Structure 1
């Protein structure tokens, strides 16, 4: 199996791409399996946070060029790649990408579907599609601009050259850089920390950040204000504030 799902203690799911012979290239089978897994864990109430990783050597080095080299436009339309990306885009729970090695092309786009990116010192990010005569096709021209701004994104997109983890962190593409051997452990520790938080609040924060980024500021602030008020109808709000006042650890139920 090229993609493995493991449910871990602490209400965390770990999804790993393991196709080292192809540097974890995202062929149709891998994308289909990722879609299946994210649909499954989105509906699994025992999973509060997910970690997406590759191997210790590579996250995902792009799409499978061999499968696309002779394709025609109709072939690409019939593949309906957006269908397999949708379960990641619409995943309602916090998602952390643990990136070792290359995250290029589709691999960089895959990482950008996450809410937090933990990268190893040796990680490299890039959108090299221009070098083979195409453009990014899974959000690279859109999510990258939103993450790092027009001028940094244009340099990455138009040169096709990868950037190092520290540079990616400085421009806002990466949340945190750690030694290569600590990437997955750090991502899982962070996932456990987030999984222990009130789950309705965590999901609403993700929802607001993603929806609000495409709205005018006043509309986004109204959405935030309405959601803030609704949180006072949750059991976790009552428990969290009572625990704070009573100086004890809270016991959240996700309700």
Structure 2
């Protein structure tokens, strides 16, 4: 049988990742799936390295990766070792904010994408609070508006975030704040807010007041419509003051 001529063309293949990355990925899956539970101590380094068939140096690199994702923690002393972290909601928010920041910096996601996700969350949230918000919720929103009014007068451009946070907290689902708040933080970090005139922030405050009135009066559809329009306007403002773009105010 004759030998085939030429050099074989290799189809696109998946690149082999480094050993420590493969170990880190397996450890992450074990933790996320609950096969090793929060608070449990992992086996000692020699035993764990042998289980994965890697050197202790490779294992340590993998553990550093998993620790950076706040999935494990290391304790010193006689009772020390590497333990699966007990989950904390704040850690999840920090991780999401850090990764969103990297995606935004790399321009994988843009301002429109970030604002769109906020709208998916905050528009129905405004409607839900209008429909079933408690007197305590209304008081929290009122205080947020009051603080924002003072902040607007003093030039505190961060004061406007309080209203949105109070609204998210009113539904008593911590995941909403964990998802939405990091998006807001990433948007804030890439905005040159100092170029925005005070009059524009007064418009934002007026829009918040209108949303609050609709919520307080249990006008669900109006609350959702006003929040939608408010976030749409904010998106346009954010694009104008994006640090990566030329200001056009």
Decide: shared fold, TM above 0.5: no
Q: Which has the higher strand share?
A: 1
Higher relative CO (Cα under 8 Å, sequence separation at least 6) belongs to: 2
Q: Which has the higher helix share?
A: 2
User: Whose radius of gyration is greater, 1 or 2?
Assistant: 2
Please classify the TM superposition score into its range, dividing by the shorter chain length: under 0.3
